[in-house]
Structure 1
Amino acid sequence: VEVERAPKALPACATPVMDGMKVKTNSKVAVGAQKDTLEFLLINHPLDCPICDQGGECPLQDQAVGYGGHLSRYEEKKRVVADHDIGPLIETEMTRCIHCTRCVRFGDEIAGVMEFGITGRSEHLKIDTFFGSTVDSEVSGNVIDLCPVGALTSKPYRFTARSWELIDHESISPHDCVGANISIQTLRGEVKRVLPRINEAVNECWISDRDRYSYEAAGAENRLLQPMVRGELGLTPASWEDALNAAANGLWSVIDEYDASELGALVSPTASFEEFYLVQKLMRALGSDNVDHRLRQIDFSGDDDAGLYPGTSLPIERFSDCSKILLVGSNIRKEQPLLGLRVRNAWRAGAKVAAINSMDWSLNFGLEAKTIVAPGLVPYALAQVLLLLCEMKNAEVPADISGDFLDGADEFSGHEECRKIAAMLCENTDDGVIVLGQSAISHPMFSCIEHLAHFIAEISGVALAILPPANSVAGWMAGCLPHRGANGVPVEAPGLNARQMIHNPRAAYLLFDIEPSRDISDGMHTRQAMENASFVISLQSFDDVPDYVDVVLPITSFTENAGTFINCEGRVQHTVAAVEPMGESRPGWKILRVLGNFFNLPGFDYVQAGDVFEETSAEAEDVSEPNGSSSRPVPCIQKESSVSPGYFELISDPKIYSVDATVRRAAALQSTADASPVTVGVHPDDLEALSLKNGTAIVLRHDLHSVHTQVFSDTRVARGCVYFPAGSDAGPSASIGAEVRIEQESGTV
């Protein structure tokens, strides 16, 4: 543009606006500069628009139409840049690159991981990864949207469709509690790609790679496409009528032989509100309150006095404005990638962030203080922060926390780091938040941790955010719990929770979209419970069917299903089906509705998913106040004993691409560094004490089962602990804090 009194034309996007400035956008000087700039951009740009995936949605094409000339004066050979393989998610055609450096800035300013950089000068300047490494950030796919040309494109989408052929379908990501707004784009009934939809209050303009590429699983070769019933010849294909009859008859036979209390239902937290609601409605109509979706949780002692749902009292968009943030049992960067970006934004703006964890996770922001301790010591570290906070604030220690517990906290060895955390929380600002992540929720003393966090939040004047998995808030609101019905209405005689259903096995189980040995905290006991059951029904999307399942009903993927999702701040969001169901698979809510009809139960006459939601929304309470309050009498559980000699405490969280059945079958995601083969990690000092070396073949033993793998030194792991990710195919996992033993393949160490 031409700016009055400026000696030359100036770039509009990089020129600050000032009072009295006179700007001309269409003068002879401005138009000439625009044409010259575009000519320089096109000098080395290849003329391959017909085969470029960016064609039809390319900003450079638009600029060329608006400001370019009819002919090129450049007759010399164009520059060619060699491409490198930077991973399974992003395809490169760097000859097209115009050096805008958006991808470099995204890594530096947004993602917090500098994966792209600039090398060379002048005509030899190029954008590349450092030392030819792969791009492994959990939000790396956003550079595809940022790239103004076709230099960076989606590798799975490459050459599969043209942008103008695609049809947009608004949807919500089901994989975490943020509820990112996405656009599923289809061509001739097939999902081709997923893009972000702008929603400043939720995901801004970003999505995680998990949200972007998980659609691949919908078209996986091992999709389950027809019902199956177990007979003398094993599982064989069946018609829907035969399969539903077999399911109904099997459940009736268990009720007749035992009692309705012998039925149990376990539901994936990725289910929609409608599916949660219909599972619990079906089970309760049959006479059982044994229904739960909290598959990795093992401490339920705070259920009776819990809030309406676990979530955040601080709106998602305000995370970026916080001045102090305490993470407890949270690897927020991988668990909730988009919230991790907001925490990073706050940190870049001057916020102080601290953490109490059992792993020194690689975060994309700095920490003011950190306490890395074994899982059993996390509550004591939090109690130490509470004691110091009360001392600094001249506040009384809450009376309902036991003295013995606080005495143990007072002797806690991480005193100095806890003092830094308490001092951070004492600062005179009320725009802060305490975040409880997946490790906290899965902790054997979760109720204690939650109770302490409530007190600390109340005394320091900050918000509390409990970040449950996936669509768990909808599970709470829909009544998919043993102790509450829809909208938080208490149940007169509570049923069994997920852990109780495994350790007090039922005669029959209804499994909804779960892989029990990978999705439930105690995988081996889960398998035993299922094998000993008289009858098991599984509603699932893939054909990896365990040998204990009697009836398999194929359900659709999230791209083929309509439903409702409620994120961690209580925001209700609806989705529509982007494509028709594959094969004979059907939406889960429809299968549950028809199953209710087979039992001749009243109230199962819904026509569409919206009818299910409307049935409960008319009676819904305010969903904006999660978590309850610190005044509820949740007891602090004391640690019973230390770890037995020769044993380690287990740290077991699912990796980012192992959280659910869909993500585990997304081919591109399973080829990334975050989906690398599962091994055991121990602190270097512990590895030396065991006289083992990196890569040694070991057996990790716990209770009823063992896993054969390798052990490696990992400085992130707390002393006295073993890190073995949950949700993998390496073997059934145990719960966080469980005692495990490491044995070398040739003998015990």
Structure 2
Amino acid sequence: MSAQPVNPNLPPDHVTVFIDGVELAAPKGSMIIQVADKAGIPIPRFCYHDKLAIAANCRMCLVDTEVGGRAAPKPSPACATPVMDGMKVFTRNEKALKSQRNVLEFLLINHPLDCPVCDQGGECELQDLSLGYGRSVSRFVERKRVVPDEDIGPLVATEMTRCIQCTRCVRFTGEIAGTYELGGMYRGENLQIGTYDGKPLTTELSGNVIDVCPVGALTNKVFQFRARPWELIAKESLGYHDALGSNLFLHSRRGEVLRAVPRENELVNECWLSDRDRYSHQGLNAADRATVPLVKQGGEWKEATWAEALSAAAAILRENKGDDLGVLVHPATSNEEGGLLAALAAGLGTANIDHRIANRDFSDAAVAEPFALPVAEIEQADVVVVVGSNIRHELPLLHARLRKAQTKRGARIHVVNPVDFDFTFAAAGKHIVPPSRIAEVLGGAELRGALQGATRPVVIVGAIAENHPQAAAIRAAARDFAAATGAALCRIPQGANAVGLARAGVLPAARDVAGMFAEPRRAYVLYGIEPGLDFADTASGLKALNAAKVVAFSHFACESTRAVADVILPIGLLPEIEATLTNLNGVEQSAHAAGRLPGQAREGWRVLRALGGELGLAGFEFTDLAGARAMLEGGRQVQVRAGSAGAAGEGALELALVPAIYRTDAVVRRAAALQAHPLNVAPRIVLNPADAAGIESGAVVKVKGAHGTATLPAVVDARVAAGAAWIEGGHGATAPLGAGRVEVVKA
């Protein structure tokens, strides 16, 4: 006769377990530590992490168990022992505590105990457990072992003598990042964790090994020796370098942002953070940060008071209002600032306002829209089609979810791209074609047939497609493909707050970005833009701006801004202001000021309010951010006018323009550690061998485009589609080329 369940009222897939006398219901197959965590019963651990595979190699979580009245002969690891019906678990009896204390004593045999000089001091799991389970005096007097360090790059500092071989970092790089760059070498007491080749970590998620490390073996190299945890003030903030809107904490001391750490949100970034969001705070303190209002007088820049600068800006806008004015806004601008810019434009009588500064094809009047399937649910998809995106660099944490969908749930991922990018998932199908043929592939029977029988298909359209001169045709093909296959269409918004700015009405009822450059206006407002690098068509943009009066609300007084502007009004970046952004799920999220504003810089909403007041515009009478939000309640509905189609230009090769991972915006471009990262490749052009025509890797070539010429080193690589040439954007050297067709000749 089979044993009867302890509690017959439970579902058949649940069992009853008693932990320290507390009766709990748990799903069959659950590990003791998972059940205890859910019930809030503490069990010490080092190697266990709920996002990583179970290793059971630290043994810190040993507990005493009893099943059917019979005690287990020896302690069991709570992380690797499944619960059984009627099981009794003792986490604090003499047997369990003795085992835990003995394990900790052995772990500390070789630990250097250098807490006073360790960056992990004050937030170290080993410190915490040593206090609870350790002896005050070590019984071991033998010599401690020393492990040589290796340099694993500009982001993560190593002190591997502190390592306790929990292998969390190894499992992270293998399971989550998918790069398998760390591992255990040698045996027994000589075991040490490191890279296999002695090279820097290349994963775009490398900073997460700092978070998972329970000791001070892996620490933040940028933050190294800067402060102690108890000196820091934590403020909730957001990643603002891609549309995911990763949740994070900014840690500051005396108003200086010193580091960023992930803030757990399962619906967005889980407990991870991309390196771009973790280390970009370095750019806040760049040498060319705009710190005082500047006014150009007689061709020379002069420092001015805020009253003088606002007066000069207002004079330009009064003289050039209506259709003579264009307003250009960076797509990472907050909802509040965007709404006030839309109100400012309306008050000045202009419908020439746009934030789609990376777009090239406006013929379908497309705007950013939320994903049809929330990002957390994409990992439940059974078939995913990635269209026109180096998604690993564009949205690193969405790429990690796609890897999880494949490795844990068997999802089939198909790729339609001009380059066979290095993804950490294995593609079920690859269609490597020039960008102009992407629409053709989406309309073909082969790819549509691959989705037959799919129950949760997803199509993800990225920056290469969205910013191509024939983007409208690709978007139309993606919509048709999604409709024909039942797939959820997820177009990646081109900017951290592109969805929010579209809702706030930062869109043209008259001229779009391309129209404002094709038919130059007499004056422009630039908001948060670095004009030499942020526009899709740099040459046309600079030509139009140089011939006009320009009021620049700017975070940086860079050379390109100084060259085109007449007034520079210094404003705060997201880590320095209270603001909201809307992520690719369409969810509005809040960020709180963590760093102090540099010099005389002010929050953007304050400057806009002051300028609106100077101009005497209605609606700018509010005095605080709450008043601004109340004034903007409901957003601004705009009927976007279809603009011009992108021009392909002339030339033998089609440019596949891909945003460089660490050149996406002005802040990231100024983060020194990210610029030193191996993924930050110098400007170059990559050609298919069939198109190289005698050009060898390393040769310097001239690339002639419709708007300019660039001189670049060439790389010959078969991963690029024949008929296409791959360059990365965000570099001054590649900015003149746009994204049309080019001619490549030897320099």
TM range (shorter): 0.7 to 0.9
Name the structure 1 match of 2:671.
Answer: 666
Runs of at least 4 residues of structure 1 off by over 6 A? 632-637
CA distance in 2, matches of 1:30, 1:320: 39
How far apart, in 2, do the equivalents of 1:233 and 1:503 lie? 26
Q: 2:115 aligns with which of 40, 49, 64?
A: 49
Per-residue deviation at 1:610? 3.4
List per-residue Cα deviations over 1:164-203 (Å, max 9, x = no partner): 1111101111111111111011111111111111111111
Q: Distance in 2 between matches of 1:292 and 1:227?
A: 24
Asked if the contact 2:382–2:454 (Cα under 8 Å) also holds between the matched residues in 1, the reply is no
Whether 1:500 aligns to 2:515 is: yes
Are residues 1:66 and 2:125 paired?
Answer: no
Does the residue aligned with 1:170 lie in a helix, a strand or coil?
strand
Between the aligned partners of 1:25 and 1:422, the Cα distance in structure 2 is 55
Q: Distance in 2 between matches of 1:76 and 1:283?
A: 75
Residue 365 of structure 1 is matched in structure 2 by 425
Task: Name the counterpart of 2:574.
Answer: 558
Q: For the Cα contact (< 8 Å) 1:652–1:734, is it kept in 2? A: no
Q: How far did 1:592 drift?
A: 1.2
Three-state SS of the structure 1 residue aligned to 2:533 is helix
SS in 2 for 1:61: helix
Kindly indicate whether the alpha-carbon contact (under 8 Å) linking 1:214 and 1:663 is maintained by their aligned counterparts in 2: yes
**Contact 1:186 1:192 (8 Å CA) reproduced:** yes
Q: Which residue of 2 aligns with 1:396?
A: none
In structure 1, C-alpha distance between the alignment counterparts of 2:168 and 2:500, rounded to whole Å? 37
Q: Write the distance in 2 (CA, Å) between the matches of 1:21 and 1:620.
A: 61
Structure 2 counterpart of 1:675:
680
- The whole-number CA distance in structure 2 between the counterparts of 1:728 and 1:63 is 48
Q: Does 1:296 align with 2:361?
A: no
**CA distance in 1: counterparts of 2:734 and 2:75, whole angstroms:** 65
Write the letter of the residue equivalent to 2:691: D
Offset of residue 377 of structure 1: 1.0
1:272 corresponding residue in structure 2 = 334
1:532 pairs, out of 547, 565, 571, with: 547
Q: Partner residue of 1:394? A: none
**8 A Cα contact 2:709 2:736, kept in partner:** no
- 1:558-577 map, 5 Å: 558-577=574-593
Aligned counterpart, 1:10? 76
Query: Which whole-Å CA distance do the structure 2 matches of 1:457 and 1:704 have between them?
Result: 35
Corresponding pairs, count:
676
**Residue matched to 2:15:** none
After TM superposition, give the deviation of residue 636 of structure 1 in Å. 14
Deviation at 1:233, TM superposition (A): 5.2
Query: Which residue identity does 2:540 align to in structure 1?
Result: H
Q: Following the alignment from structure 1 to structure 2, what is the Cα–Cα distance between the partners of residues 634 and 528? A: 23
Q: Which residue of 195, 205, 208 corresponds with 2:274?
A: 208
Does the 8 Å contact 2:335/2:504 carry over to 1?
Answer: yes
Aligned to 2:37: none
The answer on 1:318 being equivalent to 2:377 is yes
TM-score by length of 2: 0.88
Contact 2:505 2:635 in 1 (8 A): no
Maintained 8 Å contact 1:700/1:742? yes
Instruction: Work out the CA distance in 2 between the residues paired with 1:381 and 1:619.
Output: 38
Match of 2:491 among 463, 466, 469: 466
Aligned partner of 2:720 in structure 1 is 717
**Does the 8 Å contact 2:342/2:505 carry over to 1?**
yes
Pair 1:542 & 2:556 matched: yes
Name 1:377's counterpart in structure 2: 437
Where do residues 422-441 of structure 1 align in structure 2 (5 Å cutoff)? 422-429=448-455, 431-441=456-466
Q: Does 1:343 align with 2:402?
A: yes
Using the alignment, how far apart are the partners of 2:312 and 2:642 within structure 1? 44
Aligned match for 1:614, one of 630, 640, 648: 630
Q: Secondary structure at the match of 1:570?
A: coil
Deviation at 1:428, TM superposition (A): 4.2
1:132 match: secondary structure: coil
Q: Which position in structure 2 is the counterpart of 1:694? A: 697
- The 3-state SS of whatever aligns with 1:43 is coil
Distance 1:620 1:702 in 2: 38
Greater RCO (Cα-Cα under 8 Å, separation 6 or more): 1
Q: What is residue 538 of structure 2 aligned with on the other side?
A: 523
Q: Which moved more, 1:100-109 or 1:576-585?
A: 576-585
Helix, strand or coil: the match of 2:261?
A: strand
Change (3 A) 1:216 1:315: same
**Displacement after TM superposition at 1:130 (Å):** 2.1
Q: Which of 512, 530, 542 in structure 1 is aligned with 2:527?
A: 512
Please state whether the residue corresponding to 1:425 is helix, strand or coil. Answer: coil
- Secondary structure (helix, strand or coil) at the match of 2:290 reads coil
Q: What residue identity is the alignment partner of 1:342?
A: R
- The answer on whether the counterparts of 1:213 and 1:669 sit within 8 Å (CA) in structure 2 is yes
Partner of 1:744: 746
Kindly indicate whether the alpha-carbon contact (under 8 Å) linking 1:169 and 1:578 is maintained by their aligned counterparts in 2: yes
Deviations 1:203-223 (A, max 9, x none): 111111111111111122221
Quote the residue 1:328 is aligned against.
Answer: 387
The residue type paired with residue 343 of structure 1 is L
State the secondary structure of the residue aligned to 1:22: strand
Higher helix proportion, which one? 1
Q: Which runs of 5+ in 2 are unaligned?
A: 1-62
What residue number does 1:732 align with? Answer: 735
Post-superposition shift, 1:539?
1.3
User: Are residues 723 and 579 of structure 1, via their aligned partners in 2, closer, same or farther at CA, if it must alter by over 3 Å?
Assistant: same
CA apart distance, 1:252:
2.0
Letter in structure 2 aligned against 1:714: D
Taking structure 1 as reference, are residues 176 and 347 closer, same or farther at Cα in structure 2, changes over 3 Å only? Answer: same
Q: Is the 8 A contact 2:252 2:594 kept in 1?
A: yes
Q: What's the counterpart of residue 652 of structure 1?
A: 657
Give the direction of change, closer, same or farther, for the CA distance of 1:640–1:731 in structure 2 (3 Å limit).
closer
Give RMSD over aligned pairs: 2.1
1:142 Cα offset (Å): 0.7
| 326-335 or 446-455, which deviates more | 446-455
TM-score computed with the length of structure 1 as normaliser: 0.87
Q: CA deviation at 1:647?
A: 1.9
The amino acid that maps onto 1:694 is: S
Greater CA drift, 143-152 or 65-74: 65-74
SS in 1 for 2:105: helix
Q: Residue 169 of structure 1 aligns to a residue in which SS?
A: strand
